[in-house]
Chains A and B, each alone.
Chain A
């Protein structure tokens, strides 16, 4: 019983610390934006370097959706709707969720490990002793870069999955769905609201994953076990948070 209370108490305390930390980060954001070079550097690290995994995953997920969707649709003679099926599944759900999960694994873990190691090697302390705030110089630029990167990566993921290599390649080029009906059906049934919702989801996920990653790194125990634990919990906590938030957001968006 007391053990359960302790677990809940430490969970709540961690949540409180994380929120307090978030306020600190947000306070450091203007300073980070005042030095765009730092943000751009981090945008390259977390965004541009994640491109390959996003492009490849997007293509494969689009291809699989097209294969599966075609098998079902062709039974009803509705294979012209393949584009709609792929597009709505990707834009509404798979695009933001899978991109965020991949981002957590590729960039979130790297962020946590980097910050944790900077802490373990006293770099953050050294900054403090040089009278520069590590929140402004290290944490906020990485956080901002993550928040910007995820919506951009999600858009690229969707384009790859629907058009260039995914659904289009399988549906139109391989299975012989008419290209005109593939695209026109997409145009007629996808609304601007779908794309807005995709971007909202992607923004929320980017915010959450970046927050979790910098928090885990900054609060890692300054040892090799501590850094490895921070990396692992970044991926685990982020993944759970993404899936749970996706449910909540979807429930609100499609009332």
Chain B
């Protein structure tokens, strides 16, 4: 990899030679990724390239076939279960659909990690929850049930919940997928401002290219199990590879052909290409 390696202290998550696959299907074939501290890093790629898989590997939910993931110098996959759980308190994750607990209301969802992991009195938990909900603009929705929330609201509540334990890093899985422009704008602004205000490190997995590039400090483009491109948004936009250009601009034809591989059209129609 030609990735310029930043100073050791600047990198919160260091992925080295990571390989992963389901059965015979290869998802990652020895990739290197550095997630710098305090920055918003975008992970982009076509559908089905396993962007979400990367988050699950970083979170230690899945085991890689080869390679290492180090979070703040600790190899995530060498940890015992208890140590892994301790480490996960330093990470927050926002799942694609929010993954709120459907048997709890908004307030209790955000309070859940606090109640599970701290012995704080209920009055302090209340204050903390209201502060987190205020940060995502949903203090007024505290008594709603999960089924009453719109998709965008569910994601914001899930974000408040992910922030409840004041993690160092938040991972966003497709935060913009299927959202209307206003919600998208709200979520974009939230990701950026929370990252800067709370001194977080953010990883945003998305294929909403323009949105995610507008808030990211640096981005990785993953395709076919490899890192296809890496750099700041400006560097990516000026990238030499025609594939990257097609991916960023969304052109329907290019290195990725519009048509599936097929015999010559005319010959096919004339019945000669049997």
Please give the residue numbers on chain A whose beta carbons come within 8 Å of chain B beta carbons, in ascending order. 118, 121-123, 125-133, 137
CB distance from A113 to the nearest CB of B (A): 12
Please indicate the chain B residues that have their CB under 8 angstroms from the CB of A125 in the complex.
56, 61, 95, 99
Q: Evaluate contact between A123 and B100: CB separation under 8 angstroms.
A: yes
Are B97 and A122 within 8 A (Cβ)?
yes
Check A131–B85 contact: CB distance below 8 A. yes
- Chain A contacts for B161, CB-based, 8 A: 130
Complex contact A130–B97 (CB within 8 A): no
**Contacts known (A121-B97, A122-B95); A129 close to B88, Cβ less than 8 A:** yes
Contacts of B222 in A (CB 8 A): none
Cα separation A130 to B90 with both chains bound (whole Å):
9
Nearest Cβ distance between residue B205 and chain A, in whole angstroms?
14
Known: A121-B97, A122-B96. A130 touches B112 (CB 8 A): yes
Contact of A129 among B93, B97, B100, B102 (CB under 8 A): B93
Q: Interface size on B (CB < 8 Å)?
A: 24
B246 within 8 A of A: no
> Given known contacts A129-B93, A130-B165, A131-B113, what 16 new A-B pairs fall within 8 Å (CB)?
A118-B102, A121-B102, A122-B96, A122-B99, A125-B61, A126-B95, A126-B99, A128-B88, A129-B91, A129-B92, A130-B112, A130-B161, A131-B89, A132-B112, A132-B116, A137-B116
Q: Does B177 contact A (CB under 8 A)?
A: no
Give 4 nearest A-B pairs by CB, closest first: A122-B99, A126-B99, A131-B85, A131-B88
A241 to B250, alpha carbons, bound, how many Å? 56
* Chain A residues, Cβ within 8 Å of B85: 131-133
> A residues within 8 A CB of B116?
130-132, 137
Bound form: Cα–Cα A202–B54 in Å: 47
B contact face: mostly helix, strand, loop, or mixed:
mixed
Nearest to A130 among chain B residues (CB) is B113
- The 10 listed contacts between A and B (C-beta, < 8 Å) are A122-B99, A125-B95, A125-B99, A126-B101, A130-B161, A131-B85, A131-B86, A131-B113, A132-B85, A132-B113
Interface residues of B in 50-92 (CB under 8 A from A): 56, 59, 61, 85-86, 88-89, 91-92
B61 contact set on A, CB distance < 8 A? 125, 128-129
Contacts of A130 in B (CB 8 A): 88, 112-113, 116, 161, 165
The answer to the question of B117 belonging to the interface, with a C-beta cut-off of 8 Å to chain A, is yes
Q: Is the CB of A123 within 8 A of B99?
A: yes
Q: Are A126 and B86 in contact (CB-based, < 8 A)?
A: no
CA of A137 to CA of B86, assembled, Å = 17
Contacts of B112 in A (CB 8 A): 130, 132
Q: How far is the CB of B91 from chain A (nearest CB, A)?
A: 7
Q: Which of B130-180 contact A (CB under 8 A)?
A: 158, 161, 165
A121–B101 CA distance with the chains assembled, in angstroms: 9
Contact status A129-B59, CB under 8 Å: yes
Q: CA–CA, A122 to B89, complex, Å?
A: 18
Assembly CA distance A141 to B112 (angstroms): 17
A118 CA / B101 CA spacing, docked (Å)? 8
Chain B residue with minimal CB distance to A136?
B116
Q: How far is the CB of B128 from chain A (nearest CB, A)?
A: 15
Residues of A within 8 A of B59 (CB): 129
Q: Which residues of A contact B96 (CB under 8 A)?
A: 122
Enumerate chain A residues within 8 angstroms of B113, measured Cβ to Cβ: 130-132
Q: With a 10 A CB-CB cut-off, give which of B61, B89, B101, B102 has the most chain A CB atoms.
A: B101
A130 to B163 CA separation, bound complex (whole angstroms): 10
Quick one: which of A126, A128, A131, A133 contacts B117, CB cutoff 8 A?
A131
- Give the residue among B91, B95, B117 with the most A Cβ atoms within 10 A: B95
